[in-house]
Amino acid sequence: MAEPTKSESVRRVIVFCLPGIGDTVMFTPALALLRRMFPQAHITAITMFRGTEHILATNPDLNEVRHFDFFNASAWENLRYLWRLRCEGYDLSIMSFPSNRLEYNIANWFVGRRWRAAHRYHRQSWRNLWFLNNIVVRETGRHHNAEENLRLLAAIATKLGLHLELPPWDVERTERIRQCPLKLAIKPDDEAAAKTFLAEHNLGSDKLLIGIHTWSSTYKNMAHKCWDKDNFVALIRRLGDERPEARFLLVTGPADEEINQYILQQADSRVVLVREANLRRAVAILSHCRVFISNDSGVMHLAAAAAVPVVALFGPTDWWRLHPWTERHAVVSRELPCSPCFYYSSRALRCVENVDYACIRKITVDEVHTAVNQLLSAP
């Protein structure tokens, strides 16, 4: 009997997709490559948030997606769950980027029977025990999050002696985006729900739909990277005056209900709130937009995955590493000498220069308005 190839010897793969929605979406190009590397393997994704589970549930490159709330489980419950995973015998364990926590590297080491792949981060790397992994890529600080995950897949291929086709790192980023796109599979019932929503709100093809996400995660003080609500009001009014056919879809959930209610009251009936707990259905609705305006958030990356042109507003986070992974986007950023100031570590966001987050506050309505019109007028 012939010896199995290295690809065939990796029969079970586990991928920890523990960050939020945006980072998980930016891992999907790497997932596609992972499936090509191990076409016969059983690939399992572990998520920590329900939103990421919704996004990955229909991904064709995965055999299964599981959800476990590591944050709210007790230490004993976490250990028991990881032990069950360990007993399943995974040949390769992968920690997606960014996952810069001590607990994550321990979990990767504990579950991965043979190969354990993860990043070594610039900050707190020794404290986080990166050396528990035996396939390691050092974070560069120059690559996009999607590229960091592609680099991790390239390191796995090199370690196992597998061939992996990737665009050369010296090509333009747009070429890499073209060859390694985001992947988001929308089910027919998601599309049907979106059409029902549009019909109920009289949002036919004669309307110009403009999507907006006004908020972000509040974890680690992330609310401070959001543009002011009165700026969104002013932008909606200006665009609405110029384009009477425009309708504005505000993605809303429990965290951003208050700010979106304020905008709804200040604007007119052309603003429609999109309250959809199933993220795939929300994306199906947003896919009908001609442009999407957003702070740096997971919803911004969902819009990019749906092939909607995105105007992305960046303040304290690094737009070069986090911009929408799509050719059709525009970044509006006030690049101060202290920007960016938030990195992947355990520290929460804080204004290091004590200028009250001027990097996001000083982005003007004029700048965003110009960027929106440029994308709307593009062929």
Same domain, 238 and 365: yes
Helical (H) or strand (E) element with 24 = helix 21-25
Number of domains in the chain: 2
Helix (H, G, I), strand (E, B) or coil at 376: helix
Give the model's pLDDT for residue 180. Answer: 94
Predicted TM-score (pTM) of this structure: 0.93
- Do residue 218 and residue 154 come from a single domain? no
Write out the two tokens for 96.
């997606």
Question: Tell me, what's the pLDDT at 7?
Answer: 65
Domain that holds residue 297: 188-377
- 162 and 96 housed in the same domain: yes
Structure tokens at 152: 């991790």
- Residue 1 is predicted with a pLDDT of 39
Specify the DSSP element, H or E, that contains 92: strand 90-95
Q: Are residues 196 and 98 in the same domain?
A: no
Beta bridge partners of 111: none
Phi, psi for 101 (deg, rounded to 5)? -140, 145
What is the C-alpha separation between 100 and 127, in angstroms, rounded? 10
Residue 283 placed within a domain: yes
pLDDT for the residue numbered 276: 87
Residue 339 lies in a domain: yes
Asked if residue 256 belongs to a domain, the reply is yes
Same domain as 126, residue 105: yes
The answer to whether residues 201 and 272 belong to one domain is yes
Give pLDDT, residue 22: 93
Asked whether residue 59 is domain-assigned, the answer is: yes
Q: Is residue 171 part of a domain?
A: yes
N residues, the chain: 379
Q: Is 309 exposed, middle or buried (0-12, 13-18, 19+ CB in 10 A)?
A: buried
* Residue 217 sits in the same domain as residue 343: yes
208-213 sheet: strands from edge to edge: 271-275, 246-252, 208-213, 291-295, 310-314, 329-333
Select from 159, 179, 199 the last residue of a domain. 179
> Does 1 fall in a domain?
no
pLDDT at 319: 92
Residue-wise pLDDT for 76-117, tens only, equals: 999 999 999 999 999 999 999 999 889 999 999 999 999 999
Choosing from 118, 146, 179, the residue where a domain stops is 179
CA neighbor of 98 nearest in space, from 181, 38, 27, 197: 27
Mean pLDDT, the chain, whole residue set: 91
Rounded to whole angstroms, the Cα distance separating 60 from 64 reads 10
Q: Are residues 246 and 112 in the same domain?
A: no
Last residue of a domain, one of 152, 179, 206: 179
**How does pLDDT run along the chain (379 residues), one tens digit per residue?**
344 556 668 999 999 999 999 999 999 999 999 999 999 999 999 999 999 999 999 999 999 999 999 989 999 999 999 999 999 999 999 999 999 889 999 999 999 999 999 999 987 777 789 999 999 999 988 899 999 999 999 999 999 999 888 888 878 889 999 999 999 999 999 999 999 999 999 999 999 999 999 988 766 667 778 899 999 999 999 999 999 999 999 998 888 888 999 999 998 779 999 998 889 999 999 999 999 999 999 999 999 999 999 999 998 889 999 999 999 999 999 888 878 877 765 677 777 766 767 888 899 999 999 999 999 998 7
Do 147 and 275 fall into the same domain?
Answer: no
Asked if the structure places residue 133 within a domain, the reply is yes
CATH number at residue 103: 3.40.50.2000
Domain-located, residue 119: yes
Whether residues 260 and 154 fall in one domain? no
Residues 192, 159 share a domain:
no
Same domain, 145 and 240: no
C-alpha triplet 140, 145, 151: angle, nearest 5°? 60
